[in-house]
Amino acid sequence: MKNLVSATFRNDFVTHFDGDESGNTRPRQTPGVLYSKVAPTPVKKVSLLAWSDELARELELTRPESQEEVDVLGGNQVTPSMYPYAACYAGHQFGNWAGQLGDGRAITLGELQTSTGQTWELQLKGPGLTPYSRMADGRAVLRSSLREYLMSEAMHYLGVPTTRALSLVTTGDLVMRDMFYNGNPEYEPGAIVMRVAPTFIRFGNFEILAARRENENLQKLVDWTIDHHYPHIQGENKLIDWYKEVVERTAGMIVEWMRVGFVHGVMNTDNMSILGLTIDYGPYSFVDDYDVNFTPNTTDLPGRRYAFGKQPAVAKWNLACLAGALSPLVNDDEKIQAALETYDDVYWAKYYRMMGDKLGFNEITPADINFINRFEKILKAVKLDMTIFFQLLIDLVELNEEEPNILQHFNESFYRELKEAEQEMVTTVITSYLQRIKENGSDLETTVALMRKSNPRFILRNYLLHQSIEDLEKGDSGLFQKLQEAIKDPYSNRFEEFFVKRPSWATQKAGCSMLSCSS
C-alpha cells in the first residue's frame, strides 16, 4: 500500500501521443494533438469530505493522513511523477455536431498500475481552466460533485458498469453557477471529485480525429485502445472485432441502466465510454414512477431525446456516430455497418434475459417475451414506483398465497388511485404472472434469490441527494454519511427508512425532479 504522494504514476497516454506541451489554458482549437498539458489551478483550502476506502484498497492506496496528500485530491499538489493533462475530443450533443469539446473541467493526473497489473487513470473534475473550458471556469460545485461522487459508487454496488469516484473534497472557494440557465446565478461552495477508470476515452476522442481527417492519429488511437484495453483482440480483422465488442458492451450497459431504472440525462457521444462504462454524471436520475418519457434534464426539453425509454435507441445512434468516425480506417463500410446492426439482437437478448431475472424466470421462452411486453404495458400505464413494485412482487412470490389481494398488496407502489380499468389490468397480469411462476421449473427459494439479486431495494433517489446537499451546506453531514453506507448494500433491507415513494413535495422542487446540464 502507498499514499498518493509517494505513489509512482505512469504516463502512457501522453508519452504515446502528440500533445500541446505549452501549458497555456487559453481557450482555443488544438488540431494535431490528442491532449494539452495543463496544471490544476490552486484553490483556497482543500478539505476531505469523502473517501472510498473500498476503491482505495483496489488501487492499493492508503487513506490520506496529511494535508499534502489531501492537497493532491484538490489539485493543490502535483507530484513529480504526475503529468496533468486535458484530453481533446469532440461530440454530437443532442443530435447535433458540436465540434471540438474536450476536458473543460477535468484534468487527468496520470495512471496508477496495481500489483495485479491493472492500470487506472486518475482524474480530477473541477480543478480549473483548460484549453477546452471555452467560456466556462473549469470549476465544479459541491452540488454537482456530491452527486457524481455518490452515484459513481452507487452504480458500482448496483452492478452497473461505471467509472468510479475515489474522493470528494471542498475547495474553500465560492463558484458562481446559474443552476437552471434562467438568469439567476448564485455563488455555491466549490468542490472537486477524483474520478477513476481504466480509461476515460470516449466516442468523441475518435470523432474529433475523423472530423479533422487526422487518419494517422486516428489509427494510432484505435491501435492503442485495443492494445491497452482489448488485448485479447488480435488478427487482421481486429478493428471490426473490436467495434463489435464496443457495441456489445454498450448494449449491456444500457440493459443494466434499464434494470435499475437509471436515466443518464445527457447521452451525447462525448459522454459515451469506449469501454461501455457509465461516464459523466450530470443531470441523471433514477425513475421513481415508471415513466418511459421521463427525462431529468431541463436542457432535454421539450424533445426528451434522452428520456428513460429512448436510451436504447440513442445508444445505437451514438454507436453509428462512432462507426462513422472509424470508417476512414475500414476498407469495406458494409462490414462496420453489419457490426453496428448486431446491436438490436444483442440488446434485446440481454434485455429479455434481464427482465426474466427480475421476474424470477429461470429461462426465457417466446411466450415469456410476449408476457414481458404485456407486463411492461401495465408498468407504463399505471406509472407505479418501479423499485417498490418489484420488491413487493418478490414478497408476493415468497408468500405463495393461493388467492392474494393483489391490489392491496401493491398499494404502496401506486402514486395515485387507480381507475377501474387499470385495477383490472394489474390484477389480470399479476394473476397470469403467478401462474407462470408455478410452472417455472425452479424451487421457490431459487426463484426468490434470483429476483432479489436482480432488483435493488435501495436506489439513490434525487430527493435524497438534494436533501443531503442542503444539509451539508448547513454543516450537517448526517444524511450524506448514511447515504454513503446505503449505496454499498442496495439489495438488502438494512436501510428501510429509504424504502418509500418519492414524497409529493419533491415532484416539482428544483433539484429533486429536474436538473440542468450544469448539475
DSSP string, 416-446: SPPPHHHHHHHHHHHHHHHHHHHTSSS-HHH
pLDDT in tens, 347-366: 999 999 999 999 999 999 99
Cβ–Cβ under 8 Å, residues 48 and 64: yes
Q: Provide the pLDDT for residue 509.
A: 76
pLDDT in tens, 440-484: 888 999 999 999 999 999 999 999 999 999 999 899 999 999 999
Q: What are phi and psi of 100, to 5 degrees?
A: -65, 130
Residue 519, pLDDT > 50, answer no
pLDDT in tens, 416-443: 999 999 999 999 999 999 999 998 888 9
Cα atoms found within 13 Å of the Cα of residue 387, Cβ hemisphere only: 23
> Of residues 105 and 184, which shows the higher confidence score?
105
Q: Which of 20, 71, 103, 270 is catalytic?
A: 270
3-class secondary-structure state, position 171: strand
pLDDT in tens, 42-95: 999 999 999 999 999 999 999 999 999 999 999 999 999 999 999 999 999 999
| Alpha carbon distance 245, 54 (integer Å) | 29
Q: Provide the pLDDT for residue 515.
A: 78
Spans of all domains in the chain: 12-200, 204-353, 362-519
**Is 18 considered catalytic here?**
no
3-class secondary-structure state, position 84: coil
Residue 184: band (very low, low, confident or very high) from pLDDT cuts 50, 70, 90 = confident
| Alpha carbon distance 212, 200 (integer Å) | 21
How is residue 360 written as a grid cell?
A: 424470477
3-class secondary-structure state, position 40: coil
How much is the average pLDDT of 233-262? 97
How is residue 102 written as a grid cell?
A: 474536450
As beta bridge partners, residue 122 has 110, 196
How much is the average pLDDT of 149-163? 98
Percent of the chain beyond pLDDT 90?
92
CA torsion angle for 461, 466, 468, 473 (degrees, to 10)?
170
| Alpha carbon distance 8, 113 (integer Å) | 9
Q: Provide the pLDDT for residue 518.
A: 57
Q: Is the peptide bond before 366 cis (omega within 30 degrees of 0)?
A: no
> What amino acid is encoded at 169 in this protein?
V
Cα atoms found within 13 Å of the Cα of residue 243, Cβ hemisphere only: 28
